[in-house]
Structure 1
Amino acid sequence: MSEPSAQDLPPFETHRVGPVPPAFEPRDLWADDIALREGVARGGADGYRDGLQGYARLAGDELYRLGFDANRDRPRLRTHDRHGQRIDTVEFHPAYHRLMELAKAHGVAGLSWHRPGAGAHVARAALSYLHHQVEAGTSCPLTMTHAAVPVLRREPSLRDWADKAAAPHYDPRDVAASEKAGITLGMGMTEKQGGSDVRANATTATPLASGDGYALVGHKWFFSAPMSDGFLVLAQAPGGLTCLLMPRRLPDGAKNAFRLMRLKDKLGDWANASSEVEFCGALAWRVGEEGRGVATIIEMVMLTRLDCMLGAAAEVRMALAQALHHARHRVAFGRPLAAHPLMANVLADLAIESEAATALALHVAALVDAAPSDPHAAALARVATAAGKYWLCRRAPAVVNEAQECLGGAGYVEESILPRLYRQAPLNSIWEGSGNIQCLDVLRALSREPACAQALQATLARAAARHPLLEHEAARLGAGLAGGGEGVEAQARALVERLALVLQGAVLLEAGSPLAEAFLRSRLGGEHGQALGTLPVDIDFGPILARALPR
């Protein structure tokens, strides 16, 4: 059918637009995602299926729309009230509070703790993955709140804080934690002079004469989610670097002695506030033993790094869904974009990347779930979390950018979610330890913790028996890791990249994924270029795309 001439158009209309892609939302993010459903089932979390289905529908509709509002109107810092009194308050758009309310109510921050059972960590991971797809900024306080619970539960005097953090209630009021049914928690670890080297922290924690806590004096260069009810911080106590819980409000409701200096002007993560803070004798309570601050937060870091993996997988998943949705409806050169062979190659490659990321993240969540009663799972989780965090977070920016290119200019403007995903994608590679820290942590675990080395050896042996490409890579990895010394450290990124790819390939094979062979050939078999969209020509893209997103 030919284009209408100018004479055929109604008055004052200069052109007509042909078929355009419909709105992405509302979508059922559970029904859309076969890899998610299969990962939840493998992780033994089908008992939580109804709740996951409900939250997935909510995420693909109301939460998706709320995310745009929460990011459009960024948080504002008010240091003083109209009378000149210091208040140190951050104001958020109402959409932020609604996102937090729904997330807390559905267990994104606490399902593992207030509804424990087989598969609870996998179910909670799935909730986090769903939430992060549509609004990543709120994932920061939700993740920290979730991760702090097991640490706080070890201190009898802080048990109430742990229970309220786990509770499915959100209360944004700036009042004492004792007045709330549910609370949120933030963190303050990084100082100007230290960065990842937290042992260089200079903030001091002086025991109070009353014996009821410590007085903090110092600063934090990154102080996340500053309107949280409490914050886990690291400071130098008489016995060395120590973990402490600092309440925002004192038990009597008075403001604690800290000052928010400014909010960070960040690349992304706009819905959430990150701040710089100074402590002026702020009250804090010890968590764990003095001098054992790093050891105390290790369990927290394991959980927050898992959420970094989940966040990266979520960003990749949403980017893929946006690109495939657009390409199926956008017509160019006489047929849908998705029908062009080169575009189909790009989309299929994105789909493989997404499923491999989701499968590995949920597999690590299943290891965390099994860890309390399974030493092998605990040891493997220690290594796989660091390796997966490094690789998945490293891949996310490139994958999101490739998805933007599928939409062309439409993927670069703020009416699309893709610019927000692209700004967000680098964060998880930096937060909770940059890439170098993750890779060195893998080497440290393997050299200093025999159980970790044994668990990895067993995993590589099992993988090697499944496929010739995995056998070849497992042998290369074993030789590389056995070298020792500075040579291994210099090659840590290359080794951990290959380790992550082997773990992804093994998980896909074990899961029976129809994408496993394409993943192994392209990622481990050398049948892939440097860019996405370079899959071998004999791979059938049709079934891969049909699996990735229902029409």
Structure 2
Amino acid sequence: MPTHEVTNQVPAPTAREAAADPALFEALHRERAGWAEAEVRELGLRAWDEPAQEWGRLANEHEPILRSHDRTGHRIDEVEFHPAWHELMTVAIEHGLHASPWREDRVGAHVARAAKLYAWGQVEAGHMCPLSMTYAAVPVLRVEPELAERYEPLLAERTYDFGLREPAAKRGLLAGMSMTEKQGGSDVRTNTTLAAATADGSYRLTGHKWFTSAPMSDLFLTLARAPGGLSCFLVPRVLPDGTRNTFRLMRLKDKLGNRSNASAEIEYEGAYARLVGAEGEGVRTIVTMVNATRLDCVIGAAVGMRVGAVRAAHHAAHRWAFGAALIHQPLMRNVLADLVIESEAATTVAMRLAGAADRALRGDPAEAAFRRIAVAVSKYWVCKRGPMHAAEALECLGGNGYVEESGLPRLYREAPLVSVWEGSGNVAALDALRAMAREPACVDAYFAEIGAVAGEDRRLDAAAAALRKELADPSEAEFRARRIVESMAVLLQGALLVRYASPAADAFCATRLAREGGHAFGTLPAGTDTAPLLARVPGA
């Protein structure tokens, strides 16, 4: 058409450009998992390649469908997915993004898994949910050696075997969790689901669960009220004799984002279950799973920021306005560089937490104490920054970013999830206070981490002194919890960036610690050298 000549439109970023992530690979080697670099690079390239990007789009446009009954009226409680979902899951499971690190006695195995989750997660966020829950279920099952012996090998198996069948007949399993009830939300101690003991040592559960993510999984960890109090149980979807457990899918949730992944309301109607841990110890037993998924929430937020920064910078490098490419215009460079700073800080702390988890699991008490507090404060703050970052990245594309085809609306809808998942901001902040009160070693480990760069940056030193003063004041600590935890998270990020000589370190400390910038992205102070920051993203 002579009236419709297409010019000044932006091509998709190439996989090789988009997968180049200096912060990720520097951290991979720092955290003693450099041996996994080739596989991480392979996954990053594949995530940004056209077929995988199309899987991500299709999995979100063709959402899961609940099939409660078959054509003859028999109850089946199955979830039907688009083939693109299964392609995404197949790649993820084959590369061990689920529970495989638990079976690998190698230093850095959990770091490698975190890096692979970060790299491959850039293709689509929804399918990261069942991967995360399967990963987190293994240490809980180890409380009961008999259950771990039966299920852990299949949970760690690198074969995606979709469908409801007796677990022993499958080549690989996925695990989920089902804790939330409509009357309590995060307050699981108000749960009313009942567990009745039977003569064979199993239990029968009766009750309604308000949120059960990935209800198509094979096994679920859940909380129910046994005679001895709130307890943790393992609930299989299919029983050893091949019959369906009375685990009823009532409806799928109509969610803001994460639409490729199913979340359901379920009912237990005398569902068969096995006790995990002692009666009355349910919260203490399942908290191991919660802490593991919280780490994945931080990784997920970092993934979203990386995608937003890549897409924004790529657009600016190829789009012209007012006589010049956007990437060369000073104010746009300020915005893009600020997005890169936030992304780099999120990636750096996420990988440090993965390293702490790996070393804690290998028996390092100092790293265990650090992980306990650092995961809580990072879960609060990094996840809180995700939606703001996604909104700014979208704005960099202008009206094009507001259109579904750009992929930015999906990123924007997805961003709030990790703040809500495994406890909202208040829950994470209060958990950090609880950790500091009950486990003083956490505070020592945190300040030891900050102290590693004492004297290297006056802004860091001033922020550390202010935080110590804040923590020394016990008055209205709960009221001040968010301020305290935000300060801890930002100080930790700044200390890590300085310690590892990141190009983002100086501007981060200036704007996030010394408050030399404004509240919006793109308010870096005059004189900031944006070139080394923009060099961290492709095409800029």
User: Structure 1-normalised TM-score?
Assistant: 0.95
Deviation at 1:209, TM superposition (A): 1.7
Aligned partners of 2:18 and 2:537 also within 8 Å: no
1:544 to 2:540 alignment? no
Other structure's SS at 2:434 match:
helix
Which whole-Å CA distance do the structure 1 matches of 2:13 and 2:451 have between them? 43
Provide, for residues 54-91 of structure 1, a one-character-per-residue CA deviation record: whole Å limited to 9, x for no partner: 21111111322210010010000011111111111110
1:328 to 2:317 alignment? yes
Provide, for residues 432-489 of structure 1, a one-character-per-residue CA deviation record: whole Å limited to 9, x for no partner: 011001111111111111221221232333343332111111111111112124x111
| 2:72 aligned partner | 83
Deviation at 1:27, TM superposition (A): 3.8
Structure 1: gaps of 5 or more residues: 1-11
Within 5 Å, give how 1:377-526 maps onto structure 2: 377-485=367-475, 487-526=476-515
Correspondent of 1:200 among 190, 199, 204: 190
Aligned partners of 2:313 and 2:539 also within 8 Å: no
Provide, for residues 243-272 of structure 1, a one-character-per-residue CA deviation record: whole Å limited to 9, x for no partner: 111000001110001211100000000100
| 1:50 aligned partner | 38
Aligned partners of 1:149 and 1:163 also within 8 Å: no
Range with greater deviation from structure 2 (314-323 or 409-418): 409-418
Within 5 Å, give how 1:10-49 maps onto structure 2: 12-27=1-16, 29-30=18-19, 32-49=20-37
Aligned partners of 1:193 and 1:200 also within 8 Å: yes
| 1:144 aligned partner | 133
Structure 2: gaps of 5 or more residues: none
Size of the aligned set, in residue pairs, is 537
Within 5 Å, give how 1:71-150 maps onto structure 2: 71-150=60-139
Aligned partners of 1:144 and 1:185 also within 8 Å: yes
| 1:264 aligned partner | 253
Aligned partners of 2:129 and 2:214 also within 8 Å: yes
Provide the aligned C-alpha RMSD in A. Answer: 1.3
| 1:187 aligned partner | 177
Other structure's SS at 1:215 match:
strand
| 1:3 aligned partner | none
Other structure's SS at 1:464 match:
coil
Range with greater deviation from structure 2 (138-147 or 43-52): 43-52
| 1:287 aligned partner | 276
- 1:463–1:488 distance in 2 versus 1, CA, 3 Å: farther
Which whole-Å CA distance do the structure 2 matches of 1:457 and 1:25 have between them? 42
Other structure's SS at 2:220 match:
strand
Range with greater deviation from structure 2 (463-472 or 307-316): 463-472
Range with greater deviation from structure 2 (123-132 or 189-198): 123-132
Correspondent of 1:240 among 193, 208, 229: 229
Correspondent of 2:209 among 217, 220, 223: 220
Which whole-Å CA distance do the structure 2 matches of 1:430 and 1:541 have between them? 33
Which whole-Å CA distance do the structure 2 matches of 1:47 and 1:242 have between them? 40
Other structure's SS at 1:48 match:
helix
Which whole-Å CA distance do the structure 2 matches of 1:459 and 1:466 have between them? 13
Which whole-Å CA distance do the structure 2 matches of 1:460 and 1:546 have between them? 27
Deviation at 1:341, TM superposition (A): 0.4
Which whole-Å CA distance do the structure 2 matches of 1:386 and 1:63 have between them? 33
Provide, for residues 316-365 of structure 1, a one-character-per-residue CA deviation record: whole Å limited to 9, x for no partner: 00000000000000011111111110000000000101000000000010
Which whole-Å CA distance do the structure 2 matches of 1:165 and 1:111 have between them? 8
Which whole-Å CA distance do the structure 2 matches of 1:80 and 1:173 have between them? 15
Aligned partners of 1:148 and 1:162 also within 8 Å: no
Deviation at 1:404, TM superposition (A): 0.5
Which whole-Å CA distance do the structure 1 matches of 2:501 and 2:301 have between them? 23
Other structure's SS at 1:536 match:
coil
Q: Which amino acid is 2:399 matched to?
A: G
Percent identity between the two aligned chains: 53
Deviation at 1:543, TM superposition (A): 1.9
Aligned partners of 2:317 and 2:539 also within 8 Å: no
Provide, for residues 478-510 of structure 1, a one-character-per-residue CA deviation record: whole Å limited to 9, x for no partner: 11112124x111111111111111100111111
Aligned partners of 2:376 and 2:429 also within 8 Å: yes
Aligned partners of 1:28 and 1:56 also within 8 Å: no
Deviation at 1:24, TM superposition (A): 2.3
Aligned partners of 2:52 and 2:123 also within 8 Å: yes
User: Structure 2-normalised TM-score?
Assistant: 0.97
Range with greater deviation from structure 2 (20-29 or 59-68): 20-29
Other structure's SS at 2:98 match:
coil
Which whole-Å CA distance do the structure 2 matches of 1:140 and 1:219 have between them? 21
